[in-house]
Chain A
Amino acid sequence: MKFTIQVNEGPYQHQASDTAYQFTKAALAKGHEIFRVFFYHDGVNNGTRLASPPQDDRNVMKRWSELAAEHKLDLVLCVAAAQRRGIADADEAKRNGKDANNIAPGFRISGLGQLIEGGIQADRLVVFGD
């Protein structure tokens, strides 16, 4: 089965990103396809490379980057949500006149159309969050 995953909550504050990660990993292990993981609302905060969580805890952001590298996952941060919350890649930082970017490896920033397309193309859209 082909899944699109939507993550609506930020890391640590909420378990949604953890659960989405475990679901995605389990689906891949069972041979399913992940069409895309789309991060919306505070979920875009999963795409920063500047977080430094304590070493005796899981690293939610890095875990997504590693899973993306291993399985060539398409991790997409919503551009409008990312702009509001200060998540930027090099292009976005330049366009908005910022002095730095912070996007983590394996993530890309794109529009909400990517979520709609995910709903159209996948057999199931699974949403994680409140």
Chain B
Amino acid sequence: MSIIKKFMYVNRKAPYGTIYAWESLEVVLIGAAFDQDVSLAFIGDGVFQLIANQDTANSGFKNFSPTYAALGDYGVTKIYVEKESLEERGLTLDDLQHLIWEDEEEDYAEKDSIRLVSRAELANVLAEQDVLFNF
């Protein structure tokens, strides 16, 4: 019998000052092939990873932010964003990419992937996980 665990990738860092964010996303994409119960969390400076309309031209870094929009096609449909982390940085949901997934069971209805949760709610979600990847 195949094992299905609750996998959560916790993204805590800004997208470009270090490579953690990009290499975390690479793990998520590879991990999607393993049919686990996957979710992502964005906390602290990690919320900057989801900012819409990123432009890295002047820094020379690869702009990997379009990849987040593909997560739904990889079956990654649960993306938790911590409300307090957004507020502390002067951001709202409107500043982030609009990430969606298509629900095959409801005639491919488009559904929001991002779930805005409070710090306390996210603590509960974290406590439910079997495996936590910290990036």
Contacts and interface: CB of A to CB of B under 8 A. Distances in A.
A116 B134 CA distance: 13
A116 B31 contact: yes
For this complex, into which size category does the number of interface residues on chain B fall? 10 to 19
B64 interface: no
B19 A80 contact: no
B34 A120 contact: yes
A120 B133 contact: no
B115 to A, nearest CB: 22
Contacts of B19: 41
Contacts of A81: 23
Nearest to A114: B30
B30 A119 contact: no
Interface string B13-35: 00000011001001100110110
B57 interface: no
B3 interface: yes
Given A111-B30, A113-B34, A127-B134, A120 B5 contact: yes
Given A40-B23, A41-B23, A119-B5, A127 B30 contact: no
Interface of B: 3, 5, 7, 19-20, 23, 26-27, 30-31, 33-34, 36, 131-134
Closest 4 CB pairs of A and B: A112-B30, A119-B131, A116-B31, A116-B34
